[in-house]
Copies of this chain bind each other. A is one copy, B any other.
Amino acid sequence: MTEVIGYRPTADELSYTFGGREPVRRVKPGTILELYTEDCFGGRVRTVDDLPSQVCEFPYLNPVTGPFHIEGAEPGDTLAVHFAEIVPARDWAVSSTFPHFGALTTTHTTAMLHPPLDEVVWRYDVDVPAGLVRYHARRGDFSMELPLDPMHGTAGVAPAAFESRMTIVPDAHGGNMDTPELRAGVTAYFGVNVPGALFALGDGHCRQGEGEVCGTAVESAMNTVLIVDVIKGAATPTPRFETDEALMSAGSARPLEDAYRMSQHDLVTWAADLTGLDVLDAYQLISQAGEAPVGNVCDPNYTMLAKVPKRYLGVAPAYEGVHSRLRTVAQNHLSSR
């Protein structure tokens, strides 16, 4: 019998780091979690007049729901999280420029002598039944419908080595990877660094362009259904994703070519492990069959994914088929509601 836990954090239960926090709940492997997550602005940006730099206060940005202690998860294991459903919680969403944040602006690290770009907020209409969001230009009459494609920008576990990291940072523990690939239907795998793994998630996006070039997506609170499991004795060096069709490895680093290298290196060696191919043979196969979806090019680390259709590997399932198993349980749960 699958256990189902619903959880909506109060404002003071929100977390702003991965690591360094007590769990909000302890759950068993196989538990279904029905969660509410706040948007990256903590819900404070509601109109185009709510400038993030004025209504938000550092470091209370990008709150996550959690962390959840998954019983039995130990360092060296892998946490599997299947995302069954991600639904915007409101009929509006917001995006903005933010001073010194984004790919086409001077930042704290790519430091230049320019004043920051104008801080501007865009408010989107969100139509869940129609599967659309609507963009409105701020300095003209143009508006445009774009497909709804909900995802979580931020998901991960506590880091290794006693570290605690701001939720805005993506790294080996997951975090703010900001990849459009983290949508419903995906199973995410995270290497466990501390007892209980301490999984948390947030930063829902109604949709996002590749790279999140202005620094923010179509930001929204979300109602999300997921199921967690523990794969004992299986190490996962960097976050990985699995869908019915594809395997993916994530790399988060700077410069961006290192994010590319990390993700491709993990996918090449993972593919070699799964297929029994020699590493150079796998390198060749991924070179021709692989994709490289861009996550973010604006966060403290940049994120890229390496992706390959499973059919080109022709192999036994990854992690002994946990994706299919969790997917089935999750679908049964959704259809039984």
Q: Interface on A for B, CB 8 Å cutoff?
A: 16-17, 19-20, 58-59, 95, 97, 103-106, 108-115, 117-118, 120, 122, 133, 135, 137-140, 142, 144, 146, 160-166, 207-218, 251, 253-258, 260-262, 264-266, 268, 275-281, 283-292, 294, 297, 302, 304, 312, 314
* CB pair A142 B275 closer than 8 Å: yes
Distance between A60 CB and nearest chain B CB, rounded to angstroms: 9
* CB pair A277 B142 closer than 8 Å: yes
* CB pair B111 A104 closer than 8 Å: yes
Interface centre among A109, A142, A146, A279 (most CB of B within 10 A): A109
* CB pair A291 B213 closer than 8 Å: no
Top-4 shortest CB links A-B: A59-B161, A255-B255, A256-B256, A111-B265
Number of this chain's copies in the assembly equals 4
Q: A254 — nearest CB in chain B belongs to which residue?
A: B254
Chain B residues with CB under 8 Å of A256's CB are: 255-257, 260
* CB pair B95 A261 closer than 8 Å: no
When chains A and B are docked, how far (Å) is the Cα of A276 from the Cα of B140?
9
When chains A and B are docked, how far (Å) is the Cα of A255 from the Cα of B112?
15
> What would 6 more interface pairs be, CB under 8 Å, given A111-B258, A209-B290?
A106-B112, A135-B288, A208-B287, A209-B289, A214-B283, A256-B257
Q: A276 — nearest CB in chain B belongs to which residue?
A: B140
When chains A and B are docked, how far (Å) is the Cα of A260 from the Cα of B281?
29
* CB pair B260 A211 closer than 8 Å: yes
Chain B residues with CB under 8 Å of A20's CB are: 20, 162-164
